[in-house]
Amino acid sequence: MSAQCEVTAKRATKAAMGVFERYLTVWVLLCIFAGIGLGSVFPSAFQGIGQMEVAQVNLPVAVLIWLMVIPMLLKIDFRALHEVGQHWKGIGVTLFINWLVKPFSMALLGWLFIRVLFAEWLPAEQLDSYIAGLILLAAAPCTAMVFVWSNLTDGEPHFTLSQVALNDAIMIFAFAPLVGLLLGMSAISVPWATLFLSVVIYIVIPVLISQGLRQWLLASGKLEAALKTLQPWSLGALLATLALLFGFQGQQVLAQPLIILLLAIPILIQVYFNSMLAYWLNRRFGVAHCVAAPSALIGASNFFELAVATAIVLFGFNSGAALATVVGVLVEVPVMLSVVAIVNRTRGWYEAGAEGS
């Protein structure tokens, strides 16, 4: 183990995942069943919620997404950007995967699996929408759960914080152009005005609110207490959003339950491909394992809260895009925990190669 990683391991306290985070897949499945059931029993209520829009933004969903995203962004200290140079190799690998490999590889996998291999088992009118949802899912890296994954691998905390802060800063400017480019390459119509509106509502405004609130909470010494208080609300808002989605999607899912499995396959492939590519590149460049492990996890992760919100704004509750992003939520925890297990169990192999690089 490198000296850097020894210091990190000694000072890092492994953050045990809470009940909600550990069993997120279970809660998502329960919300799927609840949403489908409620949508069948109270269809008019769900239609009424779906019509509560201003400028193509659904107001209940906007409130729920803010409740999801703002507590996550409260954890981000943009002052950590000055530490980027300390781990420039790991930062470079992660940026390469996050912004130049993952979105484009997902667009390719979406075309291959949705339009070619699985087309005969999926509703033809939703093929483009499914691909759009997969693109949205991969277009922005995760902001919150990566701190948990990093702790579970004894990741270097300063690297993780500076990498997430840098990704969030890039996301403000790059998310809309990147999504527009990939949708255009996939021959999917790009509603540019709506896309930029979603960036303002779900990225720019939450960042401004969270950073202002963070400074006030830090000054009053209440940040940690606020994060603990807001965390259940954030996860509850996520689950409520999923229940709403499946209230609208219920009939489609009941008619073709195979859709969930088919959409999960390209998501799983891209997670393992991007995480292992990042892990291997870090090893080739001689990066310490405590940096390479979170680099691989950040490289493979998805900001699914933003993806869900943007899919609803661009394509609607009933769209295949919204469904595809929800499948990303469904597989997030188990697949990322498996990546954590891989990088932990291969530490010896990794360090033997990294030391010789």
- Listed range (9-18, 42-51, 157-166) with the worst mean pLDDT: 9-18
Highest mean pLDDT among 174-183, 185-194, 202-211, 277-286 belongs to 277-286
Query: CA nearest 28: which of 243, 324, 283, 319?
Result: 243
Q: pLDDT class for 354, splitting at 50, 70, 90?
A: low
User: What average pLDDT does this structure show over 214-243?
Assistant: 85
User: What average pLDDT does this structure show over 146-156?
Assistant: 81
Contacts of residue 87, Cβ cutoff 8 Å, sequence gap at least 6 = 156, 158, 159, 162, 163, 287, 291
Contacts within 8 Å (CB) and 24+ apart, 37-41? 37/250, 38/243, 38/247, 39/246, 39/247, 39/248, 39/249, 39/250, 39/251, 40/250, 40/251
Per-residue confidence (pLDDT) for residue 289, from 0 to 100: 92
pLDDT value at 4 more than 70: no
CA dihedral 307, 309, 310, 312 (to 10 degrees): 120
Per-residue confidence (pLDDT) for residue 140, from 0 to 100: 82
CA dihedral 63, 69, 75, 76 (to 10 degrees): -120
Per-residue confidence (pLDDT) for residue 274, from 0 to 100: 95
- Bridge partner residues of 54 (DSSP): 57
CA distance linking residue 198 with residue 175, whole number of Å? 10
Contacts of residue 138, Cβ cutoff 8 Å, sequence gap at least 6 = 102, 103, 105, 106, 107, 270, 302
Report how far apart the first and last C-alpha atoms of the chain are (Å, whole number).
15
Average pLDDT, the chain: 83
pLDDT value at 5 more than 70: no
The pLDDT > 70 percentage for the chain reads 89
User: What average pLDDT does this structure show over 298-317?
Assistant: 84
User: What average pLDDT does this structure show over 261-289?
Assistant: 94
Q: Calculate helix-pair angle for 223-255, 24-41, nearest 10 degrees.
A: 50
Q: Which CATH class is domain 3-8+24-355?
A: mainly alpha
Per-residue confidence (pLDDT) for residue 55, from 0 to 100: 64
- Listed range (126-130, 135-139, 248-252) with the worst mean pLDDT: 248-252
Q: pLDDT class for 12, splitting at 50, 70, 90?
A: very low
Per-residue confidence (pLDDT) for residue 7, from 0 to 100: 46
Contacts within 8 Å (CB) and 24+ apart, 11-17? 12/151, 12/154, 12/155, 12/157, 13/151, 14/151, 14/152, 14/154, 15/147, 15/148, 15/151, 15/152, 17/148, 17/152
H helix or E strand, kind and range, residue 57: strand 57-58
- Tens of pLDDT, residue by residue over 52-73, are 877 667 788 788 878 877 887 7
User: What average pLDDT does this structure show over 298-306?
Assistant: 83
